[in-house]
C-alpha cells in the first residue's frame, strides 16, 4: 500500500513560485504520490497545480519521483471541457479522474439521483475510452438531504468506482467503515481524512438554509468538525484495514484548514506508516 497526498492540504502554502520546493518537502516526508484539484468552473477552487504548464508539472514530479495518482475534477467541468481537461492531465501523467462531489441539486429526489448516476456513468465511459480510470468521491454536501447519498449508493450498484472519504462521512454521523464496507463497488483509493463526529445539531450542515447562505453554513460546520488525521473520531486503522481487504493500492491523505500544513501532513504520513507497518504480513501482498 502506498501513501499519497491530496495537494489541497497545502493550499495555504503552495503556489507557483514555490511549487518545486514544497513538493520536494512532500517527497522528503515519504509520500510517493500526489493528488491534484483542477476545477475551472468553480471560482473558489484552489488549483493545486498552481496554473503551471503540464510539461513543467510533469518534469518537477519526475525529478522528485512523485506519481500523479489522480485529480479531483468538477462534474460540470468534465462534461463541458472534456478534451481540454483530458489533454492537460495526459501531459501531466495523471491517469485517474475523480469527481470531487456534486452539488445538492443533483440529489434532490429519486429521479434526479438517477439522472446524476446516468451522467456519471456516461462520463466514466467517455473517460475510459480516453484511457483514464474514473471514480466518485463523497463530499459532505452529498449527505445532507435525507435521500442523498444513501439512495445514490443503493442505485449505483457496482457500475461506478468510488473514492471513499472517511472524514466527510464521519462528520455527518455516518460510520465510513460500515457504510462503505457494505458496498460492492471498486475503490480506486481511500481518502484518509479525520473529523469529529457530527451531532444532531450539525445535521443538516446547511442549518436548513439553501443557496449561498446554506453553502457558507456548511463550510463553517465543515471547518469546525475537521481535525488532523489521528485526532478525530474516525477509526483510521479499521478504515485502512477495509482498504487492504479491497486491495486498494493508494491511501490519499487530505487535511483541512491546518495551521501548520507541512507539519500536519508529516504527522499524518507517520501515523499511516505506523499502521501499515503493523498490518498482518501478506495482507495486501506488500507488507
Domain limits, the chain: 2-277
78 contact partners, CB below 8 Å, separation of at least 6: 85, 97, 99, 123, 127
Please report, in angstroms and rounded to a whole number, the separation of the first and last CA atoms in the chain.
8
- CA-CA distance, 236 to 167, in Å (whole number)? 9
Backbone angles phi, psi at 113, to 5 degrees: -60, -40
CA torsion sign for 191, 197, 203, 206 is negative
Asked if omega into 204 is within 30° of 0 (cis), the reply is yes
For residue 109, the model assigns a pLDDT of: 76
CA 25 and chain centroid, separation: 21
What CATH fold (topology level) applies to the domain 2-277? TIM Barrel (3.20.20)
For residue 207, the model assigns a pLDDT of: 67
For residue 140, the model assigns a pLDDT of: 74
For residue 286, the model assigns a pLDDT of: 41
List, for the chain, all residue ranges whose pLDDT scores fall below the cut of 50: 146, 281-287
Backbone angles phi, psi at 132, to 5 degrees: -105, 140
Quick: pLDDT tens for 196-231.
Answer: 987 766 666 666 666 777 777 777 778 888 999 999
Model's pTM, two decimal places?
Answer: 0.92
> How many CB atoms neighbour CB 115 within 10 A?
11
- CA-CA distance, 142 to 154, in Å (whole number)? 14
CA torsion sign for 186, 189, 195, 201 is negative
Cell of 7: 495537494
Q: Where do we find the cell 463550510? A: 219
Amino acid at each position: 500500500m502506498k501513501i499519497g497526498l491530496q495537494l489541497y492540504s497545502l493550499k495555504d502554502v503552495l503556489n507557483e513560485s514555490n511549487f518545486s520546493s514544497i513538493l520536494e518537502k512532500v517527497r522528503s516526508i515519504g509520500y510517493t504520490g500526489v493528488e491534484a484539484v483542477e476545477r475551472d468552473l468553480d471560482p473558489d477552487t484552489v488549483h493545486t497545480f498552481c496554473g503551471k504548464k503540464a510539461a513543467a508539472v510533469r518534469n518537477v514530479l519526475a525529478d522528485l519521483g512523485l506519481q500523479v495518482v489522480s485529480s479531483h475534477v468538477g462534474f460540470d467541468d468534465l462534461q463541458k471541457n472534456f478534451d481540454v481537461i483530458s489533454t492537460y492531465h495526459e501531459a501531466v501523467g495523471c491517469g485517474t479522474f475523480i469527481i470531487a462531489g456534486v452539488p445538492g441539486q443533483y440529489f434532490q429526489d429519486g429521479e434526479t439521483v438517477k439522472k446524476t448516476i446516468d451522467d456519471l456513468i456516461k462520463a466514466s465511459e467517455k473517460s475510459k475510452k480516453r484511457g483514464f480510470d474514473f471514480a466518485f468521491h463523497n463530499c459532505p454536501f452529498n449527505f445532507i438531504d435525507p435521500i442523498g447519498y444513501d439512495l445514490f449508493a443503493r442505485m449505483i450498484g457496482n457500475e461506478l468506482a468510488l473514492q471513499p472519504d472517511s472524514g466527510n462521512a464521519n462528520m455527518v454521523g455516518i460510520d465510513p467503515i460500515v457504510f462503505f464496507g457494505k458496498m460492492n463497488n471498486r475503490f480506486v483509493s481511500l481518502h484518509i481524512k479525520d473529523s469529529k463526529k457530527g451531532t444532531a445539531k450539525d445535521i443538516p450542515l446547511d442549518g436548513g438554509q439553501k443557496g449561498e447562505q446554506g453553502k457558507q453554513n456548511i463550510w463553517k460546520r465543515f471547518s469546525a468538525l475537521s481535525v488532523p488525521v489521528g485526532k478525530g473520531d474516525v477509526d483510521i486503522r479499521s478504515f485502512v484495514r477495509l482498504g487492504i481487504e479491497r486491495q486498494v493500492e493508494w491511501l490519499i491523505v487530505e487535511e483541512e484548514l491546518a495551521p501548520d500544513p507541512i507539519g500536519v501532513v508529516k504527522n499524518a504520513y507517520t501515523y499511516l506508516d505506523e499502521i501499515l507497518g503493523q498490518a498482518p504480513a501478506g495482507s495486501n501482498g506488500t507488507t
